[in-house]
Structure 1
């Protein structure tokens, strides 16, 4: 049964155009960033300003595209049942370096308001596990983010 589901998923993603696949991937990554933003149930001004910038720098999209990606990602994030929906797509395509950059962006968002909420920390740690990143990579990205916010 699981093999059949995997086959179905792979056939659906292969049927998408390269542009649509990239769009889905950007939505998955943006949704992961939104998970951090919504973890503490408040959207600070600093997080609201930083989020589009991180989309541009992390995903390599234009600033004009960032707002549209955010609108679509908010919709996808609301309809999601778990983080796995997003991380499965990311794992399929992203290199380790790209996963690390996404995690760094998540940490930067978590520290944007000047404090780290336990729920933000929990989401990022769970994401790192789902992205198959080592604990040392998680800590290194956290330390980099802290240095960049100081």
Structure 2
């Protein structure tokens, strides 16, 4: 009996971690989508960069990244606040949040233009996930096309 209870609790913990991981992935993808919409000019280069970064950040196959991005498109349509998504990203380790911010900059520059709305959104997201200003600037320079 005790062993069965222990297995039940372990399974619940593992399921909880899997759900939390899914929430982080969806939150990141949704923030990517919101960024790509910030300039009101959807772009295939931005979409391709989002897919590449999602696959890299979460070790996803291309088909998995595409499904995640499709779910994120739906979430972005219903979004009322950045906080709904940044609260999950904020749970990541600092270096992961930094890499996420680099990815945001890469997506913003994917179409070879940095729109002021995109920059403002990245700044707001960086503040909400507690990224230091110096790392915000460093991420911008790291992602900037040469």
Normalising by structure 1, report the TM-score.
0.84
Q: How many Å apart are 1:68 and its aligned residue?
A: 0.6
Residues 47-86 of structure 1: CA deviation (Å, up to 9, x unaligned): 1221110111122222221011011111112111110000
Query: Which entry has the higher C-alpha Rg, 1 or 2?
Result: 2
The residue aligned with 2:130 is 132
Unaligned regions of 5+ residues in structure 2, if any?
Answer: 1-12
The residue aligned with 1:102 is 100
Aligned residues between the structures: 134
- d(CA) in 2 for partners of 1:45 and 1:74? 14
The residue aligned with 2:38 is 39
- d(CA) in 1 for partners of 2:81 and 2:112? 27
How does 1:41-60 map onto structure 2 within 5 Å? Answer: 41-60=40-59
Unaligned regions of 5+ residues in structure 1, if any?
Answer: 1-13
- d(CA) in 2 for partners of 1:44 and 1:75? 17
Normalising by structure 2, report the TM-score.
0.86
The residue aligned with 1:142 is 140
- Greater displacement, 39-48 / 98-107: 39-48
